[in-house]
Structure 1
Amino acid sequence: MKTKWKMLTLAALLSAGTTTANAADDGYVGDLGEDAYYADSTDYVNDLYNEDSAAPAAAESAIEEVVEEVVEEAQYYPSELETVSYVGDGGEYAQQNVGSGIPTSLASYGCQTGDCNGGCGPVAAAPVYMPTRRVAKQTSAWLTAEALLWFPQVRSTVPLVSQNTAGALPELDQGATVAFGGQDAFGGDLQAGFRLDGGVMLSEDFGMGGRFWMLGEAEDTYNASGDGTTGSIGIPYFDSDLIANQENALIIAYSDGTGAGDVDFQGQIAVRSTLEMYGAEGYGRLRLLGGKGYRSDFIGGFSHFGIEEGLTLAATTTQTEVGAGQGDVYRFNDDITAENKFYGGQIGFLTTVGRGAWTLSALTKVHLGNMDQTWTSRGSRGRAAFADQAGGIFANNAEQTIEESNFSFAPEANIKLAYKMRPNVSFSVGYSFIMWDDVLMIGDNLNRDINTGYLVLDGAGAVDAAERPQFLGLETDSFFVHGVDLGCVIQF
């Protein structure tokens, strides 16, 4: 009976340790993982598996003392020992000696003959398997879906469309206003998108994952038509003709109210500016620090970004004024694209702190690599019976492609607050900021110094090469995007 009482004590201690682990598995234990980067192991939260914790150490010491006494008495009462059941255990299995009820690791303390006359040694018995306890559950995989409510930086360009009152020319030095294009013309508005993130923890300290994000296409458009009786419409430019050398405008709709007819020009114009952005990453995370309720990781991996801006312009105008050129139709088309593709690496740090069901995470990193830039422009213009000529208003040739590649860097920051609604489901709100230091944009590369003879096809449609608008070379500048993230995290 003495031996059985101590075996009950041992079973109670072991069961208590198992119950604590299972409770940690089922309750809120302050998981640090709230996003792709934020998957965690709960070993560093609430002292579940903290080597500095006094409670597990004390329990382990007590268990060892009881085991030593049981083993000692097993030398004298081997037949009275019974197998101890591990309450609530599961997972891996350990070999046990059936004959004595003692695990193989303790079998060397048993007797060979049962009466100890032959000396002590290993007890011969058939091996069986029994479950062992789990100390703490680890998050091994994650999947994150976020809605992005981001705001791209405002973009500028040359004035693309001008308007003036009826009877006044649509020239900027004649009181006309910019109707489309100009300083800070595009961007700055909400651009919705999504971000997906997933990965797996390969060990307590190391995990791998990937993510992809995309913003919906941002679009700014202008469409107008008229005969000038309600207001004039034009495309303003700076006349590079050495004689004029002043503000001018390609007239789309205009009426001066004099002469045989009230209408001089009537026509229509459509302009469209677009912006698309996306990012793809593959990364690894390595734990640097860990403690009660916090964890700090090193982040490293591969980065790819795409930023593409487009501009299309189509205009048609007909001269209705009585006199030379009456009935002539002018046609203009421009199609310009500026494409940026970044390929490089990323390094950074992620720090996460948790308290109860709340988690606060801060991510800072920088992307370093090459920005491949491609400028593509194509255009055409025509007049009356003349065949269409190569080159539009701002696109100075039938088709032109220029490519460059420059070293670039892109700092990124994100802060996120998450709340655990269910054991494996969290909802988060955060703020993100990304800036690229070298981006090719259309507005920085349009030349509005245009020769009037080039536009109106003087000389029966023949154009001197010197009259074409000159391309000044690729100009780049920094560009950023920032905004709010709303996410849902599922951990497995």
Structure 2
Amino acid sequence: MKTKWKMLALTAMLSAGTTTANAADNSYVGDLGEDAYYAESSEYVGDLYNDDRAEPTANEVSYEEAAEPAQYFPSELEPVSFVGDSQPTYQGDVGSGIAMASASCGCQSGDCGGSCGNACAPAACAPVACTPSRRVASKTGAWMTAEALLWFPQVRSTIPLVSTNDAGVLPELDQGATTAFGGQNAFGGDLQAGFRLDGGVMLTEDFGMGGRFWMLGEAEDSYNAGGDGTAGSIGIPYFDSDLVTDQENSLKIAFTDGNAAGEVDFQGDISVNTTLEMYGAEGYGRFRLLGGKGYRSDLIGGFSHFGIEENLTLAATTTQTEVGAGQGDVYTFNDDITAENEFFGGQVGFLTTVGRGSWTLSALTKVHLGNMDQTWTSRGTRGRSGFADQPGGIFANNAEQTISESNFSFAPEANIKLAYKLRPHVSFSVGYSFIMWDDVLMIGDNLNRNINTGYLVLDGAGAVEAAERPQFDGLETDSLFVHGVDLGCVIQF
């Protein structure tokens, strides 16, 4: 048979051209290389896709926006130490200050999807480039602060109330007597413990309402003494306004000179006590004026009430021991005087807080403006055995006297506090507080030591002599302040 070489060569060329394939468009089974060349040893699988069909390619992505984005509120978020790669931000002094993502992102060419919007394409803003920034936000919540107050009231002065001297020497100031109780800077200045409670709720991130109450324990100074004068003389010094005497004198409680021709001897005892009480109650609102990373400043405004009360009681009994007329007669004297101050007004000020890590420093400055209602109450008696008691004591010149007046007053206040956060919602603090009232009624400013002995001591017939002394000359007021250390615990809810 005659072989047709030309036809075989043409067939081979056509077969080779048919088996040439584009790797991007075909998939096949079997060995590549030679097997793919020879049609007899290759098996082909259909096309992955048809170039003629108008279908979207794998490089195309379709994005669809949600019909309505879901809402969320700061109060629904769990407190976290930080969001993003930076350090935790300051947590507010009230509520739970937490770091929250804001709408601004790290993408420079536009916002990126989700809460950042969809203004820029994915190619211009990779997912890792859209880093949430943080802002300080006070979570709506409540707070409560309990503090122990270690405060020191201002020292107070009064007239000399009790004097002492050597045995046989009259207890009169011009005779070298020493003031045993009362006098200049006699009371106050010592530690007076108390407590302060502060609590409230943040209604929004910017506005909250709260209340505060504080009270100091009763500050007390007292003097008790007695005797017959052999160990030293005791008396109540005063200036005798009798027209004949008109000089220093004293009411002898314990005295003896061992001289029958000398001064009359007495034995007895005396008790003097003075107390001071203070408290304050406030209701206030706070509105954020400034805020940023690690700081916040609030405007404070509200109602203020303060109470300041001082009391003085004096009781003395003395018996004449001198032989002669009046021997054995007992003389009694009782004074009870109260000065009461009640402040009602408003307050305005600023609370600024700065935080770093677990530490928080806050400063509160404000002023209270309003009326100070003042009431002076005095009552007393004096007597001699065998006769009815007379109204009025030594410094209380009437059986009972009540005088009231009201004056405009202001009271600046300052608190500074450093707190350390031990747990997420618990902090301990140490601070300093100062409050001063410019118009306060105090007993020491209103005692009159000009006394008429003839009116003070009943004579042998149980009568008294004019003129009545001491006399009331009107109420005198002065400023008063209190300051000291605060130790507290803050709990945030």
Going from structure 1 to structure 2, the CA distance change for 1:171 and 1:4 (only over 3 Å counts) comes to farther
8 Å CA contact 2:241, 2:450 repeated in 1: yes
Q: Distance in 2 between matches of 1:475 and 1:183?
A: 17
Q: Which structure 2 residues correspond to residues 280-299 of structure 1 after superposition, within 5 A? A: 280-299=281-300
8 Å CA contact 1:41, 1:204 repeated in 2: no
Q: What is the CA-CA distance between 1:32 and the residue it aligns to? A: 2.4
Q: What is the CA-CA distance between 1:259 and the residue it aligns to? A: 3.1
Going from structure 1 to structure 2, the CA distance change for 1:216 and 1:66 (only over 3 Å counts) comes to closer
Corresponding pairs, count? 412
Residue of structure 1 equivalent to 2:44: none
Going from structure 1 to structure 2, the CA distance change for 1:242 and 1:59 (only over 3 Å counts) comes to farther
Q: What is the CA-CA distance between 1:465 and the residue it aligns to? A: 5.3
Higher RCO (CA-CA < 8 Å; seq separation 6+): 1
Going from structure 1 to structure 2, the CA distance change for 1:64 and 1:293 (only over 3 Å counts) comes to closer
Going from structure 1 to structure 2, the CA distance change for 1:139 and 1:328 (only over 3 Å counts) comes to same
Aligned identity (percent) is 76
TM-score by length of 1: 0.78
2:112 aligned to which of 57, 61, 65: 61
Question: Which amino acid in structure 2 is aligned with residue 369 of structure 1?
Answer: G
Secondary structure at the counterpart of residue 466 of structure 1: coil
Residue of structure 1 equivalent to 2:51: none
Question: Which amino acid in structure 1 is aligned with residue 151 of structure 2?
Answer: W
Residue of structure 1 equivalent to 2:152: 151
Query: Alignment RMSD, CA only?
Result: 3.2
Residue of structure 2 equivalent to 1:466: 467
Secondary structure at the counterpart of residue 467 of structure 1: coil
8 Å CA contact 2:214, 2:281 repeated in 1: yes
8 Å CA contact 1:352, 1:359 repeated in 2: yes
Residue of structure 2 equivalent to 1:175: 176
Question: Which amino acid in structure 2 is aligned with residue 172 of structure 1?
Answer: L
Q: Which structure 2 residues correspond to residues 215-254 of structure 1 after superposition, within 5 A? A: 215-254=216-255
Residue of structure 1 equivalent to 2:489: 488
Q: Distance in 1 between matches of 2:60 and 2:328?
A: 114
**1:223-273 CA distance string (max 9 Å, x none):** 011010000000000000111111100000001022399992110100000
Going from structure 1 to structure 2, the CA distance change for 1:273 and 1:137 (only over 3 Å counts) comes to closer
Query: Is 1:30 aligned with 2:85?
Result: no
Q: Distance in 1 between matches of 2:396 and 2:207?
A: 52
Q: What is the CA-CA distance between 1:3 and the residue it aligns to? A: 11
Residue of structure 2 equivalent to 1:264: 265
Greater shift in the superposed pair: 399-408 or 136-145: 136-145
Residue of structure 2 equivalent to 1:403: 404
**1:188-227 CA distance string (max 9 Å, x none):** 0000000001000000100000010000000000001101
Unaligned 5+ residue runs, structure 2?
A: 1-56, 122-135
Secondary structure at the counterpart of residue 249 of structure 2: strand
8 Å CA contact 1:232, 1:254 repeated in 2: yes
Q: What is the CA-CA distance between 1:468 and the residue it aligns to? A: 3.1
8 Å CA contact 1:260, 1:322 repeated in 2: no
8 Å CA contact 2:342, 2:373 repeated in 1: yes
8 Å CA contact 1:42, 1:139 repeated in 2: no
Residue of structure 2 equivalent to 1:337: 338
Look at both structures and tell me which one has the larger radius of gyration over its CA atoms.
2
Q: Which structure 2 residues correspond to residues 314-329 of structure 1 after superposition, within 5 A? A: 314-329=315-330
Higher helix content, 1 or 2: 1
**1:461-490 CA distance string (max 9 Å, x none):** 223452231011100000000000001000
Query: Is 1:389 aligned with 2:390?
Result: yes
**1:151-184 CA distance string (max 9 Å, x none):** 0000000000000011111001101100000000
Q: What is the CA-CA distance between 1:23 and the residue it aligns to? A: 3.0
Q: Distance in 2 between matches of 1:408 and 1:66?
A: 57
Unaligned 5+ residue runs, structure 1?
A: 34-38, 71-134
